[in-house]
Structure 1
């Protein structure tokens, strides 16, 4: 990465010092107020607290699995859902899940669920791991029909031992009630209510079926001896992976980055939403799930299965989810788009199809790679023509201002290209990345793109506005995005996390894209700005 873009550790600490000292302290105090013991006439709410300083600095530390104020319930219309049993504050830990299977590969490798299945076939799982797998959704209606306490997941080993002891006592005639032939089935509820059940997939076997071990050592089970077709379905519907880990967490913990795929049973229980209220961060082999928005008591706790397709129209999102997970999404965002006038919906879809076409992709790549002013100007004008048409359609249809950002988020690719064309090859403009932030924050808070855009706005504000309200506002927005993703942090850890992100090539919210040469004067201007902030 060009040194002109970098902010030194001391420099970034100076930039954030004032905002941390004033506003982050207020945020931390407010968060602590959320965790105050309730009045004596109300039960105390169990919260899952993590040592963030250790979590992001000690590579040997893995947080224990556990759940915050959530419960698993039967959802209206069928299936199940994870609900909040108390108000959950933004940035608060919802759960920590450990994998029953986990595989890594060099960065950029497209690891597929099938590869995880091969690893499972050759592995020996603990009885607890087998029990957790036995409770997951496999594509059948039967696998979503029963609800068990979350304790059976997070404390599976104790549950299995207790069940085994009970069965042994019953066999000896000690008066214990006979144990049912199979454990209640539990599903991931991926798209409950619109599940496309596959009758060719067998019904969930009991934990004992999956735990058949043959010659396996006591307390272990050979996965190959389980129902292989069901296991294949479980992995297909519940595996989760990415082409790279959380880059800031890796840098802070001094871990190597890698592609990964794994099976985290508790995480798999979370239903999908195209505008989720949680985000997941991989730390070691643990998935740490935090609230990315305020979650009210009784609300669904959701996650997105979309990743890169989060900023696409409802039709494209549903097409992907139906093919990958077998359900038609009816989340609030999808229903909001469904309720819009037909002309507006068709415009959003048309924009996506146009920008996604091979012709547009080739033109965009040529314009950005060459930095040719004529090509960039043409790209900007063409993209602006698309966004202007959408704006006109929304005005004519009298789409409310509270709905418009959601529609722009679904047509994000055009707004992004318009911003890109107006930015590349020119002196960095603060308004360009800031114009994209509302659409990302409303759909994917705490995502990579959200955090990268807030950081880019902060860097540009420090360079241009220096010690001003613009810099203070940008600092607050960046701290908020980092807190949503990583939780409350000390000033030192916050600086370390942001420095780790700055070290990676990124531009306009996208990792691995080289920053433009126009940032050649950024370092000097930023140093001056942070010096003034530190002095203040």
Structure 2
């Protein structure tokens, strides 16, 4: 059972869990929008009690767990292993800065090339060609997934064998699909009209008859993974007289309960395919059987009318596939989540989930603290942030930063004091205060700029691994954190080279060693995020996807800046990491509530209508790694690092050295 899902639905704050972190601290960027929602069971990134300290030990990476060791640092290995990922000096400023991540990806690459064990298990699937080839359409494919009656829920999907994060579960063509404009979320009523105009084929009617239409009878309608494929019925032709008739009202009810909509398709892949990531509404019959959880365990990627579904958590045979029916309230406490689902026609549904049950059973103090954090954010912090941002003054933001630190500390204290909870359960509770953690990151970046504490961003990344693993939010935050830690390593290396006295050189060496460990961790988190979203891709594809994310994010930022400058119709050429990109921006800026071009209405700070006709065109495809420009992108300037060497340990846990 399910309702119409808008994975990027707007919140009262209008924030996207990842887009802000990917764009801040650029003060021209005024975008804050809502999230996709998936879940993965991974160990905490770092001990919960150390909010201001970066991790000093590495958790077990899902990538490392799946890819058997074929040699590495200090091991014999193959020549390929010892060479690592380094290509040329002009592509990588320092091989050391990516040692940890390179080794993980390299091991996957070796298996795909047959250089190591497990090649059959990890060879990149042909379906992933869809990520960058606009002419390629993968066929429907169903992996280790089957339909099963779930006690108390009705039909659901379960896995039939052991799977790990990144395993491809399904490739699904839409039974019906309708694109909107860039940033526009089409309504199910629009798809309803389009389907009636085209006429329902007998094969479509056969499949529609097995989907949930709001009635109890439809919950037990017989279905199998085979019969949900309209091609199974197509052999009967248009003369299939036994195909059930679907009335207009029933069709609309099916779409309202089962369709999926969003303001953007996958931005990374659509950029690589040189296509616009239009909004869409679609009906994928198999996905409609996935039941609800506020801590989901699958991720989805939509590219045109194709949806790829991956595991986002390790699952055993019989485990149920779960996804979120929530929109904005996924980051909010239990009462807000229950209210959203009740309004959508699912009263009491949230209380039956693992996260909902946990939150209902903890002490009154924890629930009061979580509710207080939400009220502070929604009623005080977010309105004041918008006012300060519009006025371009830092004074109020400094006050908000202090308040955010206090609110987060209260949440931490309450959650840590609750007895008998696992690390994952504590993270699930913190997730209900995500907006306060996010406000801490945003205000810290505005107020402190390059001196902002990356530990705050890392904490948000930890929460996203519960709220939205494998989402665009997850990959964009992970990529930003990875970039920050690489920049810090480069700056630390520069400082080490410039140090003259033995004491300063020793201190710089300690900092550099710590930065190297942190960069290695950041790389593994980034790899985890991309694997959870895009599966076990090749090394080259992984690098291409990273570039696509960077180009897409930077293009959206450039378009937002253009709008802030009042450019109502402009073609602007610029370069992103050496890639020539042309942005054609045609936006109605007649009102104060105009929506940033290239972004959905759910990603805007206002509630104005979107008349965007913006396009992102990659004029010259990437031909080399983006790593060569890392030293030129953000981070500390070498002069500042050298001048402030005494301050660096405040932001870096040098005890790890």
Indicate the TM-score class for this superposition, using the shorter chain for normalisation.
0.7 to 0.9
- Output the CA distance in 2 between the equivalents of 1:247 and 1:13: 28
Instruction: Give the equivalent residue in structure 1 for 2:459.
Output: 435
- Output the CA distance in 2 between the equivalents of 1:300 and 1:65: 21
Kept in 1: contact 2:185–2:281 (CA 8 A): no
Kept in 2: contact 1:504–1:512 (CA 8 A): no
Out of 247, 254, 257, the residue aligned to residue 234 of structure 1 is 254
Change over 3 Å in CA distance of 1:73–1:28 after alignment to 2: farther
- Output the CA distance in 1 between the equivalents of 2:335 and 2:377: 15
Secondary structure class of the residue paired with 2:314: coil
Report 1 or 2 for greater relative contact order, CA contacts < 8 Å, sequence distance ≥ 6: 2
- Output the CA distance in 2 between the equivalents of 1:291 and 1:79: 22
Instruction: Give the equivalent residue in structure 1 for 2:243.
Output: 208
CA offsets 1:63-104 (integer angstroms, 9 cap, x no match): 111211011011113511101100112111111111122111
Instruction: Give the equivalent residue in structure 1 for 2:154.
Output: 79
Kept in 2: contact 1:237–1:325 (CA 8 A): no
Which range moves more in the overlay, 11-20 or 465-474?
A: 11-20
- Output the CA distance in 2 between the equivalents of 1:122 and 1:271: 31
Kept in 2: contact 1:17–1:491 (CA 8 A): no
Kept in 2: contact 1:72–1:147 (CA 8 A): no
Q: CA deviation at 1:233?
A: 1.1
What aligned pairs does 1:61-140 form with structure 2 within 5 A after superposition?
A: 61-140=136-215
Change over 3 Å in CA distance of 1:293–1:35 after alignment to 2: farther
What aligned pairs does 1:198-347 form with structure 2 within 5 A after superposition?
A: 208-210=243-245, 226-327=246-347, 328-329=349-350, 330-347=352-369
**What's the Cα RMSD here?**
3.5
The answer to whether structure 1 residue 383 and structure 2 residue 400 are counterparts is no
CA offsets 1:139-160 (integer angstroms, 9 cap, x no match): 1111012333211013x33346
Q: CA deviation at 1:433?
A: 1.3
The answer to whether structure 1 residue 472 and structure 2 residue 520 are counterparts is yes
- Output the CA distance in 2 between the equivalents of 1:390 and 1:297: 36
> How many residues are treated as equivalent by the alignment?
453
- Unaligned stretches of 5+ in structure 1? 38-46, 169-206, 211-225, 516-521, 530-536
Kept in 2: contact 1:65–1:98 (CA 8 A): yes
- Unaligned stretches of 5+ in structure 2? 1-21, 27-87, 494-515, 563-627, 636-657
Q: CA deviation at 1:242?
A: 0.5
Q: CA deviation at 1:241?
A: 0.9
When normalised by structure 2's length, the TM-score is 0.63
Which range moves more in the overlay, 464-473 or 431-440?
A: 464-473
- Output the CA distance in 2 between the equivalents of 1:17 and 1:354: 40
When normalised by structure 1's length, the TM-score is 0.76
- Output the CA distance in 2 between the equivalents of 1:445 and 1:399: 25
- Output the CA distance in 2 between the equivalents of 1:125 and 1:34: 45
Secondary structure class of the residue paired with 1:138: coil
Kept in 2: contact 1:278–1:289 (CA 8 A): yes
